[in-house]
Amino acid sequence: MAIGSAWQPLTPTALDSLPDATAVFELGSLVRSVLYVGGDANEGLRASVARALADPRLRLRVRCVRWELTTDPRARAAQLLAAYRAAHDGALPSEQPRQASSVRTLLPPALEPRPSTPSGPLAATANRAPEPASFLRVRTVA
């Protein structure tokens, strides 16, 4: 139940030549993997694609587009997403926005109580102040 049209390269001139009618569209990667499915009844295809490409992460990955003219793009987009999820073990396309209800918050694990007086070979290092986290390590080679 995928969109029947062929993938078209997405260039600035191709974006300007998209029809301004209501449509559903899929944005794809270089190897034609679906990254995003969209469509809006309140705006044309050209405006919908341009709005989707306002996301810098999506804009960096998108290389092609295909579309289907329809009078109800949201319903057709829901059908396309359902078919995609059925074919991909329930996963959405990689750049598809997630619903707020499906976002999970990860909490840090509970801290275990530390012994008040350390003993053993690491006792001397346990009383030192922790070093600040750094992403840059300098290594000098003589």
List b or e across 3-21, with b for residues whose CB sees 16 or more CB atoms inside 10 angstroms: beeeeeebeeeeeeebeee
pTM of the entire structure?
0.67
pLDDT tens digit sequence for 31-86:
999 999 999 989 999 999 999 999 999 999 999 999 999 999 999 999 999 999 99
Q: Which CATH code fits 18-96?
A: 3.40.1440
Element (H, E) at 126: helix 123-126
Alpha helices in 21-94 (DSSP H): 45-52, 56-61, 73-87
Q: Which residues pair with 66 in a beta bridge?
A: 26
15 CB contacts (<8 Å, ≥6 apart)?
Answer: 46, 49, 50, 53
Give the angle subtended at the CA of 36 by the CAs of 35 and 39, to the nearest 5°.
160
Tell me: pLDDT of 141 over 50: yes
Residue 110 three-state SS: coil
Alpha helices in 17-122 (DSSP H): 45-52, 56-61, 73-87
pLDDT value at position 109?
55
pLDDT value at position 114?
57
Name which residue leads in pLDDT, 118 or 105: 118
Residue 83 three-state SS: helix
Task: Give me the residue spans of the domains in the chain.
Answer: 18-96
pLDDT value at position 4?
85
Q: Are 41 and 22 in contact (CB under 8 A)?
A: yes
